[in-house]
Amino acid sequence: MQPSIMVSNGIEIAYETFGAPGDRPLLLIMGLGAQMLAWHPELCAALAAENFFVVRYDNRDVGLSTHLHDAPVPNLDAARGGDLSSASYRLEDMAEDAVGLLEALRLKGAHVVGASLGGMIAQTMAITHPEYVRSLTSVMSTPWIGIGSPTPAAQAVLSAPPPASRAQIVEWAVTIQKIIGSPGYPMDEAWVRQLAAQSYDRSFDPDGIARQQLAIYASGDRTAALARVRAPALVVHGDADPLIPLLAGHATAAALPDAELLVLPGVGHNLPRGVWPPLVAAISRLAVAIQQGSGAGGSQGWPVKSWVRTSRVSSPHLVAVLR
């Protein structure tokens, strides 16, 4: 079982580490309803091999971290209509959890990587606690849910209530991945099934997932605030994402003053094994540039953000869009 630690206001966070504690800290924040297990252990190991001390954790209301069972019953329909009275917390509170975890682990900041909702939390962390964010990597995320729209099929998946039994959850996870996954890469169905089963066994709390979703609605647009972020940033997005469209990745990179956007061809709303090498390389490259003192816009780091260029390479790994 992964250890857990009290971070603030009665919130206990379950976490797991990879690599040597003396290496560069790297905090991984997962998305809506997903547990830390969704950061594949082999991806975590690949990051650790790049001299990162990797920390993955369960956000509040999922996995083995604190679940707010005594909170108001979440009402997503009302929230979509503008009534946020059933929201129990905001993204700022989830960012506080992340900061509290770093403090409890005695880490004076980290390179912060967030996927989907995790990217929103990472962005919020860079805004509200810049001293803890050495670099920001926002993956398949957005500064505001009002940018772009999911496809009808993806919206239906996002809105549908989950089934109740373990077997049904596993089949549902496979169905979801067929809809929001990456058309340019084969689905690792065995891994999807294993992850769904393990996640169900650790914790099954649909209301907790709804509370997380309400936090997104309650937190508003970060676009203006992102302009104040000084941490060098990497924005990663698939060009076939049906849930959070590529437009949102462009908007994130445009809002940040010091960022590069990496567009992954054929990638939907997941991280297939085929994109791990360029993703790990990009995160490592940014960290090395910062360590060398060049940041994201220096001569040894990212190109200066003064113009836009799109280039496609022969391999399916990535497209670099430099702004």
Q: What are the residue ranges spanned by the domains of the chain?
A: 4-149+205-322
Give me the phi and psi of 314, to 5 degrees please.
-70, -30
pLDDT at 311: 28
pLDDT at 317: 34
H or E stretch covering 78: helix 76-80
Angle between helices 91-104 and 206-219 (to 10 degrees): 110
* pLDDT surpasses 90 at 62: yes
pTM given for the model: 0.92
Strands ordered across the beta sheet of 24-29? 4-8, 11-18, 52-57, 24-29, 110-115, 133-139, 233-238, 259-264, 319-322, 309-312
Distance, CA of 11 to chain centre: 20
The β-bridge relationship of strands 24-29 and 52-57 is parallel
List, for residues 280-290, the tens digit of each pLDDT value: 999 999 999 99
List, for residues 156-188, the tens digit of each pLDDT value: 988 899 999 999 999 999 999 999 999 999 999
Lowest mean pLDDT among 5-19, 95-109, 189-203, 241-255: 5-19
- Please name the residues in contact with 37: beta carbons below 8 A apart, sequence gap of 6 or more: 63, 195, 198, 199, 202
The class that CATH gives domain 4-149+205-322 is: alpha beta
Report residue 203's pLDDT band, with 50, 70 and 90 as the boundaries.
very high
DSSP SS3 for 287: helix
